[in-house]
């Protein structure tokens, strides 16, 4: 479960608990006791959803998993070893609760939902439902259980493909076209919330193209159909009985459904599952650049008429784009397909053919041009960075609203920077200052302003003093990754 803002939580909807059923206010529920229908929009005028449910429910399954639970150490922090929360608490004197006596290792059980996509026994679910499982089983609507093998998983889209050998053809769902969905279209979700068994909820498509900080490759469908723990991996159906999404997450202040659920679009699911079925993994194209949005301030600073596209912040050494693209290029298209915003670029590159040239449309120094780049294969990488900083001295920069310090060896070490990094490191920000409003944070290293190199705080002060325009384009290094930020300077 990951924290968003203002107490809201984005919760994956799989249930990794012990299967305990908590009933409140006299409510009674029996797992596997048929189909329970919670309907928010069905009415006599529409005839309800009974015929549709009867058609699609047999293809929906319950997914049971077993994971090995590691032993806990006596007196260990509940945050886990190496957790940044444990480090934060230690350094700032926050009391850390200790666990009790050492716990013995034992199995932990989880549950989720899924659906059959092929009569031969292929089943789709969420990656987070089966991740780390030592055993996976599915239960069909007729209560028959089968052991499943994991064909492949993709953490980037939170999808997994399972295979069971039932010795017979299984009822399979059919994919629909999620691109044709419109906001307001009615949908139903079928799954296994709270381990209740086959449960149906109804609602509408509340929004499309939602970004929920869950990776760059999915634009989620938002729905108000009730989705709860255990619904993960279950299908979202349209009124034709076609799967248009895979239920994956909810936005909730309390862990339960509040009518803001998210599903992976079927067009994405179909592409990923096809690769998992053929190769057991997903291969994606890689351009070898880090990009960021073109904000109005950045567009103004570099002379663009609009803020369409993705700004190249850094070109990776030895990457596909090295020698072809440059820091500061604005990518506007890939093989003729427009890049209106930064979010569109990763999906277009990921879908490009690996090892073949792609035509990248860019704006460089105010001129439009096409650059051919041979697309590479993306590899999984893990980034890490220090979360503390102890600079030796500071220098005030009123128009930016920051204090900075030299980049010393200690600073490089604490921030995980290469030895060659130079600049001025931000040590504090005025909350309502220009830099804070633009998104700078303590620990950012300012390397350039308007293309002018910054090797020390004095260079930064001079560059700000000599800035010819009210907005400046700042290149910062944030824990090893560079990005541009447009800052509108405060009045002197």
Q: Read off the pLDDT of residues 68-98 as tens digits, 9 standing for 90 and up.
A: 655 444 444 444 444 444 444 444 444 445 5
CATH number listed for the domain at residues 285-377: 2.30.42.10
Contacts (Cβ under 8 Å, ≥6 apart) of 463: 449, 450, 452, 454, 472
Dig out the tokens for 158 from the structure. 């939170």
Compute the mean pLDDT over every residue in the chain, rounded to the nearest whole number: 79
Burial of 248 (0-12, 13-18, 19+ CB in 10 A): buried
Among the listed residues 158, 214, 224, 267, the single catalytic one is 158
What is the pLDDT averaged over residues 365-376? 93
Burial of 142 (0-12, 13-18, 19+ CB in 10 A): exposed
Give the whole-angstrom CA distance, residue 188 versus residue 393. Answer: 60
Q: Given this model, what pLDDT does residue 145 score? A: 93
What is the pLDDT averaged over residues 19-31? 28
Q: Given this model, what pLDDT does residue 215 score? A: 65
Residue 128 annotated in active site: yes
Q: Given this model, what pLDDT does residue 443 score? A: 84
- Residues forming beta bridges with residue 15, ordered by sequence position: 111
**Angle 307-313-318 from CA coordinates, rounded to 5°:** 140
Q: What are the residue boundaries of the structural domains of the chain, listed by start?
A: 1-18+31-72+105-282, 285-377, 395-488
Whether the CB-CB separation of 469 and 314 falls below 8 Å is answered with no
Q: Read off the pLDDT of residues 431-482 as tens digits, 9 standing for 90 and up.
A: 778 888 888 888 889 999 988 899 888 888 888 888 887 888 999 998 888 8
Domain made up of 1-18+31-72+105-282: CATH architecture: Beta Barrel (2.40)
DSSP state at residue 34: S
Q: Read off the pLDDT of residues 137-190 as tens digits, 9 standing for 90 and up.
A: 999 988 899 999 999 999 889 999 999 999 999 999 999 999 999 999 999 999
Contacts (Cβ under 8 Å, ≥6 apart) of 4: 10, 213, 251
Residue 158 annotated in active site: yes
Dig out the tokens for 190 from the structure. 């079928």
Kindly report the backbone phi and psi dihedral angles of residue 372, in degrees, each rounded to the nearest multiple of 5, phi listed first. -90, 125
- Does residue 29 surpass a pLDDT of 50? no
Q: Given this model, what pLDDT does residue 310 score? A: 92
Among the listed residues 11, 113, 206, 232, the single catalytic one is 232
Kindly report the backbone phi and psi dihedral angles of residue 137, in degrees, each rounded to the nearest multiple of 5, phi listed first. -130, 155
Q: Do domains 1-18+31-72+105-282 and 395-488 have the same CATH topology?
A: no
What is the pLDDT averaged over residues 243-258? 82
Number of residues that make up the chain: 492
Q: Which of 34-48, 216-230, 312-326, 451-465 has the lowest mean pLDDT?
A: 34-48
Among the listed residues 11, 128, 154, 224, the single catalytic one is 128
395-488: what fold? Pdz3 Domain (2.30.42)
What is the pLDDT averaged over residues 214-243? 89
Rg (CA), the chain: 26
Give the whole-angstrom CA distance, residue 291 versus residue 311. Answer: 5
Banded pLDDT at 123 (limits 50, 70, 90): very high
């Amino acid at each position: 479960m990951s924290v968003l803002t203002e107490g809201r939580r984005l919760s994956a909807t799989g249930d990794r608990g012990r299967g305990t059923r908590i009933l409140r206010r006299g409510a009674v529920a029996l797992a596997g006791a048929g189909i329970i229908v919670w309907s928010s929009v069905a009415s006599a005028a529409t005839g309800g959803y009974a015929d549709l449910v009867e058609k699609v429910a047999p293809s929906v399954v319950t997914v049971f998993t077993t994971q090995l639970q590691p032993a806990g150490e006596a007196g260990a922090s509940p945050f886990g070893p190496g957790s940044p929360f444990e480090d934060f608490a230690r350094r700032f004197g926050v009391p850390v609760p200790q666990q009790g006596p050492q716990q013995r290792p034992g199995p932990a059980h989880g549950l989720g939902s899924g659906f059959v996509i092929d009569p031969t026994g292929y089943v789709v679910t969420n990656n987070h439902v089966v991740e780390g499982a030592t055993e996976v089983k599915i239960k069909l609507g007729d209560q028959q259980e089968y052991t499943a093998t994991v064909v492949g998983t993709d953490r980037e889209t939170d999808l997994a493909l399972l295979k069971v050998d039932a010795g017979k053809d299984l009822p399979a769902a059919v994919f629909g076209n999620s691109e044709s969905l419109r906001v307001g279209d009615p949908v139903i979700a079928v799954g296994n919330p709270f381990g209740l068994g086959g449960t149906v909820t109804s609602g509408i498509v509340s929004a499309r193209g939602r970004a929920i900080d869950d990776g760059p490759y999915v634009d989620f469908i938002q729905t108000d159909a009730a989705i709860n723990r255990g619904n993960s991996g279950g299908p979202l159906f349209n009124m034709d009985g076609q799967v248009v999404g895979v239920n994956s997450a909810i936005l909730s202040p309390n862990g339960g459904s509040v009518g803001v659920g998210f599903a992976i679009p079927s067009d994405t699911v179909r592409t990923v599952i096809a690769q998992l079925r053929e190769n057991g993994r997903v291969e994606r194209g890689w351009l070898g650049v880090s990009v960021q949005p073109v904000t109005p301030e950045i567009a103004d600073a570099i002379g663009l008429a609009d803020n369409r596209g993705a700004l190249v912040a850094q070109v990776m050494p030895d990457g596909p784009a090295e020698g072809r693209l440059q820091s500061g290029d604005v990518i506007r298209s890939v093989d003729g397909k427009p890049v209106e915003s930064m979010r569109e670029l990763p999906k277009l590159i990921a879908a490009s053919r690996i090892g073949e040239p792609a035509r990248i449309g860019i704006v460089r120094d105010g001129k439009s041009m096409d650059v051919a780049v041979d697309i590479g294969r993306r590899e999984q990488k893990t980034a890490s960075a220090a979360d503390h900083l102890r600079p030796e001295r500071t220098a005030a920069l009123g128009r930016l609203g920051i204090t900075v310090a030299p980049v010393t060896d200690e600073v490089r070490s604490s921030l995980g920077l290469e030895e060659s990094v130079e600049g001025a490191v931000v040590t504090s920000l005025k909350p309502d200052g220009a830099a804070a409003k633009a998104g700078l944070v303590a620990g950012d290293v300012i390397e350039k302003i308007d293309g002018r190199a910054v090797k020390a705080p004095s260079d930064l002060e001079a560059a700000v003093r000599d800035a010819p325009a009210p907005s400046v384009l700042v290149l910062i290094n944030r824990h090893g990754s560079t990005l541009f930020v447009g800052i509108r300077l405060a009045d002197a």
